[in-house]
Structure 1
Amino acid sequence: MEMRHLRYFVALADCLSFTRAAERVHVTQSTLSHQIRQLEDELGQPLFERIGKKVVTTEAGELLRGFAARALREVDQGVALLKPAAGSLTGEVRIGATHTFNIGLIPECVALSLARHPTVRITVEELAAEVIAARLVAGELDLGISYRPADPTGLWFEPLYNEEMVLVVSTAHPLAERKRIRMVELHRQALVLLSRTFSTRTMLEECFRAAGCEPTVVAQMSTVAPMLGLVARTMIGSIVAINAVPGGMPGLKVIPLESPTPIRTPGILWRLGETRPAVVQSFAVILRKTALGNSLRREGPG
């Protein structure tokens, strides 16, 4: 089966006339008829039947029509993005992102997208993961950047990369000179963590239990920036995603964790069963490439 077979089939299914369908796809009626017969032979069943002078789709033809039309739309949108005229892409992209990704990844992707498509309009909202999921399902966002939701109903999660969580302390902290820290060594260490409403906190507590340690959680907050501000001013540590620590923030030391190493998997959240506009697909391509590039740079050679 070739792409032209689907184009001829969809044209005839739409027009229900060999004359009009042939004009639409710019071939002769005999060519159109021959191509339709080839498709029917390959599928092993008729897709059209003649009733008097009229052409109608069979049950099989009507079933195939929706899938074929959708496949052609997807291919045409993809091809359009590759053409030089793609610079004229326009429209709106509505994005929901958790705080971690709004620090560096999202600004970088928005800048790249606007440089490539200056007429595109992008709206980014910093939201909690559960709010992103709910608004995607409601059709109020085009895509989300978050971690895998606890309730994925109505959503599809596309993983981007694996992200280590690290211990962050002030440069004056007793652990600041360490190259790595085992989780068990955090027993009774004073920490500030995200509150228990976050899935990250649940995952960290599972790691603590696996290591057999109970840190002293002296403070809980809902965003990372004030947590890091507290760490920089005190002897209190924190555990955050490595991407959440700004490179230029003075007074902080990042230390890898092991036994076990807490790992999160960021990804794109999509609403199931939705046809994505070209402008949204274009942003997703930039997001995937940027996320992968950043991840490879962090891992380094080898």
Structure 2
Amino acid sequence: MELRQLKYFLKAKELLNFTEAAMALNISQSTLSQQIKQLEEELSVPLFNRIGKRIKLTEAGELFSEYALQSINRANEGLLLLRDLKNLNTGKIAIGVIYSMRILFAKILIEFASQYPNIKIQVVFGTTKDLLERLNLHHFDFILTFHEELREPHLKYQTLLKANMVLVTAKNSSLAQKTNISLNEVAGLPLALPFSGSNSIQFFEESFGQKNLVPNVCMEINDIPTLFEIVKTGHWHTILSETSVNDPDVVGIPIDGKHMRRTIMIISLREAYEKKAVTKFYEMLAKI
């Protein structure tokens, strides 16, 4: 059963004349008659009584007309909804973001939500591992994360920015004036690090290991604002991406080494349909 057949049927019901209905629809009478006949055959019941050149609805036709009209109306509503979706007047996007991107991401989120207030946005912060798992389950339209590992063919990768890894210390710390610091120096400092599930910490464990260094990790915390509070005491330091550092009472000191600069990527499912709202969000992220 096709929508056009329902439209033909409803016009014939309205005018009770195949010739006039065909003219109103700008089709031939034979086409109209043929399509309604096919509809009746599919339904296995006549919709019209044909008496000479006159037609009259059967009881079945009268009952069916209510549902045919509902179908046409619902299809039209669906068309309007898709137009709204295309024009960014409705819709929803879900985004996964690593914790270290929350400051930069918040700026883009505010800009996007202000420009497209009718788009519902769901944001989930997490570790790279958790976000990738949920992306593979189609929970997100895309995620923002560090990713240096082998790329998987079913995923689409777009480079967003490069970020230095820094030692974060109190603004009044004796280290605060340093323009850079070696990994050897960092290993000897009392450290409060992000929780061990963090992709950043896995990265640093490998970096320390390559130099046979054992860092002095005193505590692990899975909340960056809390880490800042610990660092501001002056007794501990932490290691984060420079994109995380925005507290006026702490400073980030770049860590020496060509591998201390990491890539933040936009990752999505390669074969998934890309919503227009997602495309617009990408355009705004490109401004970072």
TM range (shorter): 0.5 to 0.7
Q: Does 1:201 align with 2:201?
A: yes
Q: Does 1:241 align with 2:241?
A: yes
Q: Does 1:186 align with 2:186?
A: yes
- Between the aligned partners of 1:186 and 1:107, the Cα distance in structure 2 is 30
* Deviation at residue 89 of structure 1 after TM alignment: 4.3
**More deviation in 152-161 or 136-145?**
152-161
**More deviation in 171-180 or 139-148?**
171-180
**1:155 equivalent in structure 2:** 155
Report the CA distance shift for 1:210/1:117 in structure 2 as closer, same or farther (over 3 A). same
* Deviation at residue 252 of structure 1 after TM alignment: 1.5
* Deviation at residue 105 of structure 1 after TM alignment: 2.1
**1:50 equivalent in structure 2:** none
Structure 2: which 5+ runs fail to align?
1-82
**1:290 equivalent in structure 2:** 287
Report the CA distance shift for 1:107/1:87 in structure 2 as closer, same or farther (over 3 A). farther
- Between the aligned partners of 1:198 and 1:151, the Cα distance in structure 2 is 18
TM-score, normalised by the number of residues in structure 1: 0.61
Runs of 4+ in 1 over 6 A off after TM superposition: none
Q: Does 1:266 align with 2:264?
A: yes
Q: Does 1:252 align with 2:250?
A: yes
Q: State whether residues 185 and 213 of structure 1, in contact with CA within 8 Å, keep that contact through their aligned partners in structure 2.
A: no
Residues 228-269 of structure 1 deviation map (CA, whole Å, 9 limit, x = unaligned): 2111113211111111011xx243222121135512211111
- Between the aligned partners of 2:116 and 2:263, the Cα distance in structure 1 is 29
* Deviation at residue 107 of structure 1 after TM alignment: 1.9
Q: State whether residues 170 and 252 of structure 1, in contact with CA within 8 Å, keep that contact through their aligned partners in structure 2.
A: yes
Report the CA distance shift for 1:262/1:149 in structure 2 as closer, same or farther (over 3 A). closer
- Between the aligned partners of 1:138 and 1:187, the Cα distance in structure 2 is 38
Structure 1: which 5+ runs fail to align?
1-79, 292-302
RMSD between superposed Cα atoms in Å:
2.5
Report the CA distance shift for 1:142/1:280 in structure 2 as closer, same or farther (over 3 A). same
* Deviation at residue 225 of structure 1 after TM alignment: 1.9
- Between the aligned partners of 1:151 and 1:222, the Cα distance in structure 2 is 26
Q: Percent identity?
A: 20
Residues 9-44 of structure 1 deviation map (CA, whole Å, 9 limit, x = unaligned): xxxxxxxxxxxxxxxxxxxxxxxxxxxxxxxxxxxx
For the pair shown, which has the larger CA radius of gyration, 1 or 2? 2
SS in 2 for 1:133: helix
Report the CA distance shift for 1:149/1:206 in structure 2 as closer, same or farther (over 3 A). closer
SS in 1 for 2:177: coil
**2:164 equivalent in structure 1:** 164
1:1-302 alignment, distance < 5 Å? 88-102=88-102, 104-148=103-147, 153=152, 154-246=154-246, 249-260=247-258, 262-287=260-285, 289-291=286-288
